[in-house]
Structure 1
Amino acid sequence: MANKEDNPPKEVEDVVDEEGKSASDPQVMPPSLAVLSEIEIAKIRRRATLKLDLRIMPCMVLMYIMNYLDRQNIAAAKLAQIDQDLNMTAVQYQTCVSILFVGYILMQVPSNLIVGKIRFPGVYICFSMALWGVLSACTAAVHNPSGLMASRFFLGFVEAVFFPGALFYMSLFYTKKQYAMRTAILYSGSQIGNAFGGLFAVAILKLDGKHGLEGWRWLFLIEGVATVGLAILLAFILPNSLKSVSGLSSLEHEYLLWSFEEDNGQQDNADEASVQKGVMMAITDPKTWFFMGTLYCIYIAGAVTNFFPSVVATLGYSRNKTYGLTAVSSSQSVIEAVQLLIRNLLQPPYMLCVFTMILNGFHSDKKQERYWHIVCPMVICLAANIIAVSTLNTAARYVAMMLMPGSFYSAAIVLLSWVAGTLSQPSIKRASAIAIINAICNTPNVWASYLYYSSPRYLAAFLVNLAASILAIILATVTRVYLQRQNHKLERGLDMGRNGPTPAQIAVGFRYVV
């Protein structure tokens, strides 16, 4: 390549043929780029990537924030006494919480198959966002537990479009050298949603009684309407393919197209394989199952975040204050809102989580290495769970709580980028693999709740998390060894079969990043 900064490590990406020429030799560049110096190309790369980031990533983060808020606002609604207003039992409320994940899991694969084939994936994701906003707003009209359960199920069904769809959508624009950090930025949306969710709830729930509506009804209504409004706006901003990105110079546009093709070995082509073939290619590829097993174990350990309020309560802290749902006079509202904002933004576990995710993703992209950027965080997660199992000491347990989110989320974002870069072509196979892996790996959100009993130790939960962390490290190691062997086969020119890279990728010297 013309720019040294774009060159991945020799052992991973740079393939040299028998004549001594690199598979990423400058002559494969468009003529308009090939005549430029390395410094000029570097400037074009930086400008083009920055413009692409400014166009896509703020939209993705905003969408994830709204996705998170509309999914999690039932927790704030409970503190606003939705269970009492609807005469719900504890079991009915828990069912309303967990049933969302049933719809969420069921829809991910069908939705991503649609995203992988249509011409307007950005519009499709925005349309789904508007639809889940409508469903969230309609939740304000429920009058019994059955209505709330139905609303939550369909909300999960539609929200399932977003996360696997967003992962595939970003893979249409970013190369393997860029993807992990962008996945980390996307993931930060959920942490920002966690930080600001309580603040939004405080402001909205003060409308309790206005126009005869309970505070929790206002919560669903306002957040739902806001989601619809944002979805309409973002539909006009998000591009649908690299070819349709506006605001770029001709050289910047050519660079992005060439860089993507050079990295993947070919441009995406939705017509390259049928939906059925794409699904079968993903299912029959051993790499899909290696990645799935690793991520499944990571998500088992990560399920603790759903029960952080219960676990943190064992340290003597009250999560209810975080939501700020106690009644205050209007003269105190501004001060309380500012205090709540500071408390939420300065929650150490989530601050550390965002920082470590982005740092780990950035370093993984820079080094073009995935394995150690998964294993090292999971070793930290393992240590955190050992602490949680071993002691009830407040300081020690708080350290464990600090380490957990940052460790397993950092591993997860790199693992997801490993999936997108490894099962990259045909594009419908990539869409299928991302959805299948993410759908199955979300099932711990359904059954893990049964592990969190026997407060304050939660021994069963933390022992399972500890075992899952060990297994994740083992499976990541197996995946790395398998991919190294596949690379050796590619170097020897052996037949890779239907589970290997496409002929176009092989022709330009594609190698799996390990």
Structure 2
Amino acid sequence: MEGNVAEKAIFSEHVDLKNEIAVKQSAEDSIAGVSAKEYNRILRKVDYRVIPILASLYLLSFLDRGIVMTLTGIVQNYSGLLAARFFLGLTEAGLFPGLAFYISLWYPRANAQFRLALIFASASMAGAFSGLLAYLISMMDGIGGIEGWRWIFILEGILTVVAAAISFFLVWDEPATATFLTNEEKSVILKALSPIQVEISTDPQLGAKQSAKWEHVKAAICDWQTIFHCMNYWGVACAVYALSLFLPAIIKGLGYSAAIAQLLTIPVYAAATISCILVGYYADKTGQRSLFTVLCYCAIVVGYIIAVAPPKFMPGLTYAGCFIAACGIYPAIPGQLALSSNNWAPNSKRAIGMAIQMGFGTMGGAAASNFYRSQDAPRYRLGHILVLVFAATGLATMVLYYLICRRLNGKRDAEADSVYQFTAEQLVEMGDKAPSFRYKL
């Protein structure tokens, strides 16, 4: 009799253990209330409708921006060129911050970097494509009595205008209003987008109901994260602008003609494109955004050290250094943007914060445009050193940011019960200050 009781107890414990394992396995295989397979199907459906048009727009914008670029092809003097460049900056400023924020409205935090990488990879593709296209269009020099450089601006600019007009009918505002998603699919996406613990909220559209408030603007400006994201982005922005603006000149300084220099930029940008996509994929897969961004910074630093370290000018090493640096520069930017979009909340604070981050970073272009002086050719050692300094600064702030976020996450883990003092609405309003919020690392 005692043996039977013991056997039943053991059997009961075994069943309970199996049930516990099954529940845990089910929880692991379930995302936002659906199976992982169904969740990935919905993400792919969004991918097909969102990513191609955004990547196309960004590729064209990096190749040559809107109406203003077309008109640049008909300027007749320096004053006209300055006016055209002013309006070019005015019209292009909002595109990339808008794209990065737009991705955060469609993709949960764990899935954002790969999509940003796909879009930003189009910029490196544009770098390769523009070199080839500029080379081919320049051969039209004299046709219609128009110089080759004017044809470049005119033809590439017209293409962008046509694509922009078409895109108006292809871009949806947000998942909640997307006609290509069913109500069930919208619910899954919106629930997955919530930065607070899903068990706290029974309303999957709660996050989408947030309204912009001036308090969020102030919060973004004064937040401790802002200075880190700005410094991180500044470090890599200087490098990307230096590379995109001066790579043909650097290669030409190695002893090649202008036409061949344009063609030799293609392998650099092709490698950068592959690197950008691979890093984005594995950063999402592992969830280690900071680690991959730090590794990218290390590649940038190594690349520029190779370019400046030799005691005498070695063209092959300079080209190799630019090659290695490009493979770190292009994946670092989507990594940083994914990290900042993950760690600013709510939506309106994220929008303002990302605008500040990229607005500050864009000034890296103003700085980098003065790094490479004609009198420093062909080595451009001063320019390389300055980019190296900014990249090293970005690397240091990235490591420090990671350590601070890890410490804050640990503190919130230790005080996890405090989350039940607040309603779901209050937690959403608190955003990244909510006790249920964990910073992505």
TM-score range, shorter chain: 0.7 to 0.9
Tell me whether 1:281 sits opposite 2:281 in the alignment. no
Corresponding residue for residue 380 of structure 2 = 458
- Write the deviation string for residues 372-427 of structure 1: whole angstroms up to 9, x where unpaired: 1111121222222221111222332232121011112222221111000001x221
**Higher helix residue share:** 2
Counterpart amino acid of residue 325 in structure 2? M
Find the aligned partners of 2:396 and 2:100 in 1 and give their Cα distance. 25
**1:355 to 1:136, Cα distance in 2 relative to 1, 3 A:** same
- Partner residue of 1:261? 194
Sort the Cα spacing of 1:426 and 1:475 in 2 relative to 1 into closer, same or farther, 3 A.
same
- For residues 264 and 476 of structure 1, do their structure 2 counterparts lie closer, same or farther at Cα, with a shift above 3 Å needed? farther
Partner residue of 2:202? none
| CA displacement at 1:436 relative to structure 2 | 0.5
CA contact (8 A) 2:239 2:368 kept: no
Report the Cα distance in structure 1 between the residues aligned to 2:129 and 2:27, rounded to whole angstroms.
48
Indicate the residue corresponding to 1:412 in structure 2: 333
Please give the alpha-carbon distance, in whole angstroms, between the structure 2 residues aligned to 1:459 and 1:488.
44
Once the two structures are superposed, what CA deviation does each residue of 1:256-290 show, in whole Å capped at 9, x if it has no partner?
2222226786754475332x322211111011111
Any idea what SS the aligned residue of 1:442 has? helix
Q: Which residue of 1 aligns with 2:129?
A: 196
Paired position in structure 2 for 1:371: 290
Report percent identity of matched pairs. 29
> How many residues are matched?
398
- Alignment correspondent of 2:411: 489
Which residue is equivalent to 1:48? 42
Q: Tell me by how many angstroms 1:300 deviates.
A: 2.7
1:312 to 251, 255, 260: 251
Kindly provide the CA deviation profile for residues 232-252 of structure 1, in whole angstroms up to 9, marking residues without a partner as x. Answer: 211111111111223334443
Structure with larger RCO (C-alpha < 8 A, sep 6+)? 1
- Asked if residue 475 in structure 1 is aligned to residue 397 in structure 2, the reply is yes
Structure 2 Cα separation of the partners of residues 214 and 465 of structure 1:
34
- Give the counterpart letter for 2:275 in structure 1: T
- SS of 2:37's partner is helix
Q: Is 1:510 the counterpart of 2:437 in the alignment?
A: yes
| 2:293–2:332 Cα contact (<8 Å) kept | yes
Corresponding residue of 2:321: 400
Q: CA deviation at 1:473?
A: 2.0
Within 5 A, what are the aligned runs for 1:352-363? 352-363=271-282
Aligned counterparts of 2:79 and 2:115: Cα–Cα separation in 1: 39
Aligned partners of 1:138 and 1:493: how far apart in 2?
59
TM-score of the aligned structures, taking structure 2 as reference length: 0.81
Aligned mates of 1:322, 1:393 — CA distance in 2:
17
Structure 2: distance between partners of 1:207 and 1:319: 16
What does residue 179 of structure 2 align with? 246
Greater Cα offset, 452-461 or 408-417: 452-461
**Whole-Å Cα distance in 2 between the matches of residues 463 and 238 of structure 1?**
42
1:325-352 alpha-carbon deviations (Å, 9 max, x no partner): xxxxxxxxxxxxxxx7xx77xx322121
Aligned-partner residue type, residue 337 of structure 2: L
CA distance in 1, matches of 2:428, 2:234: 25
CA distance in 1, matches of 2:97, 2:195: 24
Tell whether the 8 Å contact from 1:370 to 1:513 is kept in structure 2 after alignment. Answer: yes
For structure 1, the 5+ residue unaligned runs are 1-20, 35-40, 72-132, 324-339
**TM-superposition CA deviations, 1:118-168 (whole Å, max 9, x none):** xxxxxxxxxxxxxxx222233334222211211121011001121111111
The letter of the residue matching 2:250 is V
**Distance of 1:507 and 1:452 partners within structure 2:** 46
* Structure 1 residues 212 and 395, CA gap change in structure 2 (3 angstroms): closer
Please, which runs of 5 or more residues in structure 2 have no aligned partner?
1-22, 199-204, 420-426
**SS state of the match for residue 390, structure 2?**
helix
Q: Is the 8 A contact 2:302 2:325 kept in 1?
A: no
Q: CA deviation at 1:68?
A: 1.3
- Out of 71, 83, 88, the residue aligned to residue 150 of structure 1 is 83
Give the residue type in structure 2 aligned to 1:65: L
Question: TM-score with structure 1 length normalisation?
Answer: 0.70
Output the CA distance in 1 between the equivalents of 2:126 and 2:267: 15
Q: Is the 8 A contact 2:305 2:388 kept in 1?
A: yes
Aligned position for 1:231: 164
Residue 493 of structure 1: how far off its partner (Å): 3.1
The AA in structure 1 aligned to 2:413 is E
Based on CA coordinates, which of the two structures has the bigger radius of gyration? 2
Match for residue 178 of structure 1?
111
